[in-house]
Each structure stands twice: as structure tokens, then as C-alpha cells.
Amino acid sequence: MPGDLSDYRKEIDRIDDEMLRLLNERSKSVIEIGKLKKQQDADANLHTPAREAAIIERLVRQNSGPFPSEAIRPVYREIMSASLSLEGPQKVAYLGPRATFTHMACMQKFGSSAQYIPANSIKDVFGEVERGRANFGVVPIENTTEGVVNHTLDMFIDSNLLIYGEILQEVSHHLMSKSGLMEEVKKIHSHPHAIAQCRSWLETNLPNVPVSEVASTARAAELCVDNPSLAAIASELASQLYGLKVIKARIEDNMNNVTRFLILSQKPPQRTGKDKTSLMLSVKDKVGALYDLLRPFASHGLSMTKIESRPSRRKAWEYIFFVDIEGHIEEDRVKKAVEEITGRCLFMKVLGSYPAHN
């Protein structure tokens, strides 16, 4: 016969006690690893994406249930975040303020034990990492609805920072206010991108309510705290941090709304076997220049996942191309393709090889 409720709870308590003991045993090993890393390279990044990915993939493969495999990643993200904090502070600069989607992307990648530094602009995020005040920076690069973030691309032209990784964050916009009542809403605030991504819903459901642009979705939520007639389009995290009630969840027009973020660092990550390389280059102005540029990728069997162009800002009608390809710069086929392309370019820069999002 099955045991009673108290028996099961006692068993859960016993298991929890054992899990806590094992977490502390794990932490002792983490501290020793941190000491060895610092002895080998005092300036090395403590965060190692290849090791993190290997741990999670191994655990998912070994999982026999009933604990769901999709829950392993968030659980171990927090375990590894807390472990890294024992090795040393992991400072992450991001486009702030708190509760923006960039903040959420940071927490998805680095967990709640990292030290987060909100910056006022994308330029400031780059600056925090360049000056060594942050180990990493996180900035948006593109959105499935709004397209590329040109300011981020432009920053790479003069910056020596490397791309350390990427984060894909699902973007869900919620309408929120102090009261949570739609009939009390007299004005709506949000970031221009969020407003654009919810345009059809707003025109259908609140056609006569004025919409005002502010610096961020988090700032929009903050403005609602002391004014019940205001509503904000922001994240669920923003509603929690600012004590607001959600009037309507998921009001974005495109339910497949994802933003890609880049992780910035002064140092490259380790090769993982499932990597992506980003390049920045400028081609000579002649007939067929772009075709000549792309041909080596195909001839070496490389898949190009993205190409964007931006004015160089140095010469009229001169453009810089940003290209993402599958593979790592240390792979022979990638190295050979880049060598071929370099001879055809006015300018070439490898922005980094880093783990592709999985």
C-alpha cells in the first residue's frame, strides 16, 4: 500500500537535505577550479560556454525522468551561476534599466547570481566592457519583427571587443497598469519598438487612447507606479518589479517575436564544435564585387546565416557588410575562405567565433 502524505514529505525533505550537501560538495570543487584558472591566467573569463553546454547536454542525455528534460537547463543555469560567483564576481553590463528584455536575456544566460550593471546606451555597454568594469556586455542585435539594430552594428566598426556568444529571447509584450483595469487607461507609454510590435492590437482594442514613446519598456512601467491613468507595454518582469497588474498579456501582433542578443567580451570563448563566426568587411566598388565576396563561402561548403550592410561613414557610397557563417575561425574551411575573401576586401575584421544558440 502507498505511504501517507507525511511519509512522502519526509522522503522529499531527506532528498532535499542530500541535494544541499551535494551542492556544497560541488561548490568546493568549483572554488578549487577557480583558483587553478587564476593561476593559469589571471585575466581569463571564468565563464566557459563549452563546459556549460557539455554539462547540460550530458545531463539531458542521461535523464530517465520523470523530471522533465526541458527543466534541466534553467535549474543548472542557476546552479552554475551561483558556482561562478564563488570563483569570482561575474559582472555583466546591459542596456538598462532593470526589467528590459535585455535584462531578461542576461538572466537567461548568466542566472541570478551575476552582478548586473545597467547602462544608458549601447555605446555605454561597449564602454563598460572595454574599460574592464564588466566581464561581459549584452546588447540587442536583431528582432524578428523590427529587423537589425543598426547602432549595435555601427559600434563594432571601431570597437576591439569580440562576440562571446548569442542569446535568443522570446519577446512577449503585456499591457499593464496600477489598477489592471482597461477602462481606466487614458494614455499608454512604451519603447518605440514595442509600440510598433503591438500596433494592430492597439488600433483594434484602444483606438482612441494616445500612445507615447519613452526610452525603454521598463521606464514606461516605472511611470505607471504613481499614476493609475497610465498604462505601459512592457515585460512580465517589469510588472513584478514595479508592482503593476497585467491588463492583457501577449498583445504583440506577431506571436513569433524573438530578439537576438550578442554577448561582448575582451576575450574569445573556447571552441565548442557547434560555433558561428561573425565577420565585418568592406568590398571594392566594382561590378560583381558582392558575388566575388560570397563565392568562397559556397566553394568551401560554408553556410552563411546572415548578411547586413551599413554605410561605412568614411566615404560616400562605401558600405560595410556584416556576415554570419556557420563554423569556427580555427576550422580549416573557415580559415581558407576568410583568407580568400581578405584579398578581395578593402577591410576585413573577424568579430568573433562563438557558440551558436541551442
Domain membership of residue 119 (yes or no) is: yes
Do 279 and 347 share a domain, yes or no? yes
Please write the tens of the pLDDT for every residue from 51-68.
888 888 899 999 998 999
Do 241 and 282 share a domain, yes or no? no
Domain membership of residue 161 (yes or no) is: yes
Mean pLDDT across 294-312: 85
Query: At residue 4, does pLDDT exceed 70?
Result: yes
Domain membership of residue 44 (yes or no) is: yes
Instruction: Judge residue 173's burial from the number of C-beta atoms within 10 Å of its C-beta, 0-12 exposed, 13-18 middle, 19 or more buried.
Output: buried
Structural domain total, the chain: 4
Query: At residue 326, does pLDDT exceed 60?
Result: yes
Residue 345's domain comprises: 275-355
Query: What 8-state DSSP symbol labels residue 96?
Result: S
Do 293 and 346 share a domain, yes or no? yes
Do 103 and 81 share a domain, yes or no? no
d(CA 169, CA 235): 12
Domain membership of residue 150 (yes or no) is: yes
Model-level pTM? 0.82
d(CA 119, CA 173): 22
Positive or negative CA dihedral for 180, 181, 186, 188?
positive
Do 134 and 205 share a domain, yes or no? no
* C-alpha cell of residue 69: 528534460
Last residue of a domain, one of 47, 71, 87: 87
Mean pLDDT across 246-269: 92
Domain membership of residue 25 (yes or no) is: yes
Domain membership of residue 283 (yes or no) is: yes
Please write the tens of the pLDDT for every residue from 11-65.
999 999 999 999 999 988 888 887 887 777 656 666 777 788 888 889 999 999 8
Please write the tens of the pLDDT for every residue from 137-184.
999 998 887 778 888 988 998 899 999 999 998 889 999 999 999 999
Please write the tens of the pLDDT for every residue from 182-232.
999 999 999 998 999 999 999 999 999 999 999 889 999 999 999 999 999
d(CA 131, CA 286): 39
Q: What is the largest CA-CA distance in the chain?
A: 82
Do 285 and 309 share a domain, yes or no? yes
Mean pLDDT across 84-96: 85
Non-local (6+) Cβ contacts of 163 within 8 A are 262, 263, 264, 278, 351, 352, 354
d(CA 93, CA 136): 6
| DSSP SS3 for 69 | helix
| DSSP SS3 for 119 | strand
Do 79 and 110 share a domain, yes or no? no
Domain membership of residue 253 (yes or no) is: no
Query: At residue 329, does pLDDT exceed 90?
Result: yes
Question: Nearest Cα to 355, choosing from 8, 100, 53?
Answer: 53
d(CA 295, CA 281): 15
Poorest-pLDDT segment among 2-6, 26-30, 248-252: 2-6
